[in-house]
A and B are shown apart, each in its own frame.
Chain A
């Protein structure tokens, strides 16, 4: 190749490229200042407390999944992280029941090992990936994203994973691959509600290729520093933080590259309520309720007024350009 991409192994980053000089110089200055001992003791304590506040405590329920905090723009919100108890007990995962407490109760039957994800469709290198290989395909990052459910509630969740783009680059999509389709496992033996008439199984979700390649689109294996609980989509799921939660398919067994816009599960069930894009958008209401506001789970008390929902769930700076010129009222 004539054009050097920076990923061809011949260019090695130097430390100044990894951390911007301004940042590490500031850090050094602060360290020196602390080391001088001038009010060092109190400052050190203060610094430590800040450091602890930034750290997400591990719930200690499942095997740990090591990760470094992501430096991608928009990847780490400073908002208060939702309690693990709430994030792992208030779920929509209809394969395990339609009530939000059902998945936590029923998903223990899901077998996450052995697990393979098949990549096929319009790619140069289709293949089957064992979950163990997929976990190692790229460095695991911690990302703290807002999650906005189409039902009008939200959470802040520290996910562990890497950009889906890493996998997509590896399988080399063909020129006519316009969309990526995700299929959730549909096993009636371990998923009691597969077979109910609520949705067409398996659960299908999809993204446009540029959405799938966006650095914020995360192939996710864990949360809160541990592997995903079954009810949150173990062992591997997608997280697309600027779209309503149902766009982020769980317990994925197949990733398919296609030319036509995928027929997604909720769109098939109620096209007037759930569009293909389903970007978080406070100005486009759901037919049965307003999307202008949301309730942050575990944080906004019963009597607190609901908070305003942000355009693209607050990720407009990062993803707005993907939809330049697109009528978001029509393409809801």
Chain B
């Protein structure tokens, strides 16, 4: 298959890396050339939040796509996409702390404690941190695959927190169209995993039979 071969091309990973950096480059360029509209601080906070959500969707889409489309090589990109999710959430938190709060850590702490919508966003940032910190190969070895996997299941909490954060952010304006789009995408991605887990538990034999044609039926994320 041409696609499967393209995914294995030596240039594939660097290409995905560069593509994932494009939003950041574009925001940086906009900030330097003062091209981010009348309120650049707000623009940067929103854009980095949007890109965090988008990379979260991309990361969580890897496994379903891999299984459904039968493209085991897609797996090579999951870690990188996950790390870019973290990269953009760091930028998001940074633009909030810097442009909104002026790096006043007392104010930031008060703000997090006082406002549920900030607290939820901050919590997801905290939960993503150990995942990013243990993303390299040696960490898997050091922790043992089982414990590593258990830790990385934390990622399933992130969509709920991220959507709640986004929903509360928009709640005051009753403007939920965009929230609904991301919620639907993430619901499909998590729903697929739930269904897989249920069918696997109910009828392990049948599940392994039906999955026989697929490559790596057990390597599920």
A-B contact pairs, 5 of them (CB 8 A): A198-B173, A269-B174, A274-B172, A286-B172, A302-B44
- The answer to whether B117 has its CB under 8 Å from any CB of chain A is yes
Is the pair B38, A305 in contact by a Cβ cutoff of 8 Å?
no
* Range for the number of chain A residues in contact with chain B: 20 to 34
Interface-lining segment among A3-11, A70-78, A132-140, A290-298: A290-298
Report the tally of A-B residue pairs with Cβ distances under 8 A. 53
Q: 1/0 per residue B168-179: CB within 8 Å of A?
A: 110111110000
Within 8 A of B (CB), among A248-291: 269-270, 273-274, 285-290
Contact B169 A288 (CB under 8 A): yes
Contact A302 B117 (CB under 8 A): no
- Are B38 and A98 neighbours in the complex by a CB distance under 8 Å? no
Contact status of A98 and B115, CB under 8 A, knowing A302-B41, A302-B99, A306-B102: no
Which residues of the other chain, A, contact B169 by a CB distance below 8 angstroms?
A: 288
Query: Is B111 close to A, CB under 8 A?
Result: yes
Question: At the interface, yes or no: B42 with Cβ under 8 Å from chain A?
Answer: yes
Contact B175 A288 (CB under 8 A): no
User: Given A86-B38, A153-B39, A298-B38, does the pair A305, B102 have CB atoms closer than 8 Å?
Assistant: yes
* Chain A 68-99 interface mask (CB, 8 Å, partner B; 1/0): 00000000000000000010011000000010
Nearest CB to that of A101 among chain B residues?
B37
In this assembly, does A28 line the interface, its C-beta being within 8 Å of a C-beta of chain B? no
Once A288-B168, A288-B169 are accepted as A-B contacts, the answer to whether A303 and B38 lie under 8 Å apart by CB is no
Q: Is B31 an interface residue (CB 8 A)?
A: yes
CA distance A283 to B121 in the complex (A): 25
Chain B residues with Cβ below 8 Å from A274 are 172
| 5 tightest A-B CB contacts, nearest first | A90-B38, A305-B102, A86-B38, A198-B174, A98-B175
- Flag whether A197 is at the interface (Cβ < 8 A): yes
| A residues at B contact (CB < 8 Å) | 86, 89-90, 98, 100-101, 153, 197-199, 269-270, 273-274, 285-290, 295, 297-298, 302-303, 305-306
Which residue of A101, A197, A290 contacts B111 across the interface (Cβ within 8 Å)? A290
Which residue of chain A lies nearest to B103 when distances are taken between CB atoms in the complex? A305
Task: State whether B174 touches A90 (Cβ < 8 A).
Answer: no
Q: Is B64 an interface residue (CB 8 A)?
A: no
A273-B172, A288-B115 are contacts. A153–B102 as well, Cβ < 8 Å?
Answer: no
Contacts of A288 in B (CB 8 A): 115, 117, 168-169, 172
With contacts A90-B39, A290-B107 known, what are 19 further pairs, Cβ within 8 A? A89-B37, A89-B38, A90-B38, A98-B173, A153-B39, A153-B42, A198-B174, A269-B173, A269-B174, A285-B114, A288-B117, A288-B169, A290-B111, A295-B39, A297-B39, A298-B38, A302-B31, A302-B44, A305-B102
Q: For B31, B37, B111, which residue has the most chain A Cβ atoms within 10 angstroms? A: B37
Q: Closest residue to A91 on the B side, CB-wise?
A: B38
A270: which B residues are within 8 A, CB to CB?
171-172, 174
A297-B38 in contact given A98-B175, A270-B172 (Cβ < 8 Å): yes
Q: How far is the CB of B37 from chain A (nearest CB, A)?
A: 7
Contacts of B174 in A (CB 8 A): 197-199, 269-270
Question: Does B98 reach chain A (CB closer than 8 Å)?
Answer: yes
In the complex, whether B70 has a CB less than 8 A from a CB of chain A is: no
Residues of B within 8 A of A90 (CB): 37-39
Chain B nearest Cβ from A151, distance in angstroms: 8
B217 contacts partner chain A, Cβ-Cβ < 8 Å: no
Instruction: Write the nearest CB–CB distance from A183 to chain B, whole angstroms.
Output: 20
Contacting residues, chain A, for B107 (C-beta < 8 A): 290
In the assembled complex, the Cα of A289 lies from the Cα of B169 at a distance in Å of 10
Q: Which residues of B contact A269 (CB under 8 A)?
A: 173-174
Known: A198-B175, A270-B172. A303 touches B37 (CB 8 A): no
Nearest CB of B to A245, in Å: 14
A100 to B174, CA, bound (A): 15
Residues of the A chain whose Cβ atoms lie less than 8 Å from the Cβ of B168: 288
Q: Which residues of A contact B38 (CB under 8 A)?
A: 86, 89-90, 100, 297-298
Looking across the interface, which residue of chain B has its beta carbon closest to that of A150?
B172
The 0/1 profile, CB within 8 Å of A marked 1, for residues 43-68 of chain B is: 01000000000000000000000000
- For A270, the closest partner residue in chain B by CB is B172
Distance of A116 Cα from B173 Cα, bound (Å): 30
Residues of A within 8 A of B37 (CB): 89-90, 100-101
Residues of B within 8 A of A153 (CB): 39, 42
Q: From A153, which residue of chain B is reached at the shortest CB distance? A: B39
Chain B residues near A289 (CB-CB < 8 A): 115
Q: How far apart are the CA atoms of A305 and B40 in the complex, in Å?
A: 14
A81 smallest CB distance to B (angstroms): 14
Chain B residues, Cβ within 8 Å of A298: 38
